[in-house]
C-alpha cells in the first residue's frame, strides 16, 4: 500500500508574493520537497478549496480583508501547524502602513486620486477590507514564525526540512527581521 505523504499548503493573504518567490528560490531542492509532501493548496498549484488534515500551512501576508480573516480561521481549523511566513504575516509590516487611515480615504487615494484610467472604487469581486491590517497571530494561533522581508530561501528550506524530519526548528538561528 502506498504511504500517504504529509500535506503542505501555502497561502497568500495581504502580501506582495515576495515570500512565495523566496520559497521558489530554494531552486532544485524543491524537487526533494515535492517528493516528500503533497502540496495540496498554494498559489503555485490549482486547488481552490482548502483541504482537511494539512500538516503545515505557510501563510504569507497580513490579514487585511474579510476574505483573509475567514481563510485564516479555516486554515487554523484544518492545519496541524500554522507558520507565519515573512514580516507581513509576523508583524503586519507593509500592509499595516495603511492602518492610520480610514478605509474610504485609502480607496479614494488608490482608485481615484492615483488612477490614470478607469477612476472609481471597484464594487464587484473585491472582498471588503477590515478596519486595519493585522499580523496573523492576532487573528489565529500561530505555531512558528519565519521573519524576513522576504525570509531567505535557505531559511525556509531548513525549517521545512526540520519539520518534515519531525523536529522543531529554531527559526532564530536562520532568520532575522527585514532580511
Contact flag: residue 18 with ligand SF4 (CB under 6 A): yes
Contact flag: residue 175 with ligand SF4 (CB under 6 A): no
List the alpha helices (DSSP H) in the chain.
Answer: 18-24, 29-36, 66-78, 87-91, 103-108, 153-164
What single DSSP character describes residue 97? G
Query: Residues 88, 136, 155, 160: which binds ligand SF4 (CB under 6 A)?
Result: 88
Grid coordinates representing 5? 505523504
**Chain centroid offset of residue 142 CA:** 12
Contact flag: residue 92 with ligand SF4 (CB under 6 A): no
Contact flag: residue 13 with ligand SF4 (CB under 6 A): no
Contact flag: residue 87 with ligand SF4 (CB under 6 A): yes
The answer to whether 37 touches 6, Cβ cutoff 8 Å, is yes
Residue 11 Cβ vs ligand SF4, minimum distance, rounded to whole Å: 12
Query: Residues 92, 135, 150, 169: which binds ligand SF4 (CB under 6 A)?
Result: 150
| Rounded-to-5 percentages of helix, strand, coil across the chain | 35, 20, 40
Q: Which stretch binds ligand SF4 (CB under 6 A): 49-57, 81-89, 122-130, 156-164?
A: 81-89
Interacting residue ranges for ligand SF4, rule: CB under 6 A: 15-16, 18-19, 60-61, 86-88, 93-94, 149-150
Amino acid at each position: 500500500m502506498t504511504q500517504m505523504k504529509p500535506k503542505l499548503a501555502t497561502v497568500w493573504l495581504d502580501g506582495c508574493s515576495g515570500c512565495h518567490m523566496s520559497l521558489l528560490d530554494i531552486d532544485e531542492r524543491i524537487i526533494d520537497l515535492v517528493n516528500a509532501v503533497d502540496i495540496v493548496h498554494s498559489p503555485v498549484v490549482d486547488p481552490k478549496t482548502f483541504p482537511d488534515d494539512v500538516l503545515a500551512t505557510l501563510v504569507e501576508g497580513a490579514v487585511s480583508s474579510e476574505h483573509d480573516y475567514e481563510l485564516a480561521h479555516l486554515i487554523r481549523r484544518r492545519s496541524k501547524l500554522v507558520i507565519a511566513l515573512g514580516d507581513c504575516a509576523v508583524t503586519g509590516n507593509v500592509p499595516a502602513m495603511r492602518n492610520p487611515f480610514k478605509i474610504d480615504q485609502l480607496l479614494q487615494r488608490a482608485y481615484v486620486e492615483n488612477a490614470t484610467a478607469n477612476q472609481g472604487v471597484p464594487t464587484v469581486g473585491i472582498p471588503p477590507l477590515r478596519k486595519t491590517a493585522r499580523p496573523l497571530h492576532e487573528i489565529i494561533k500561530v505555531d512558528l514564525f519565519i521573519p524576513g522581508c522576504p525570509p531567505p530561501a535557505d531559511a525556509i528550506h531548513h525549517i521545512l526540512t526540520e519539520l518534515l524530519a519531525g523536529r522543531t526548528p529554531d527559526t532564530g538561528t536562520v532568520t532575522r527581521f527585514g532580511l
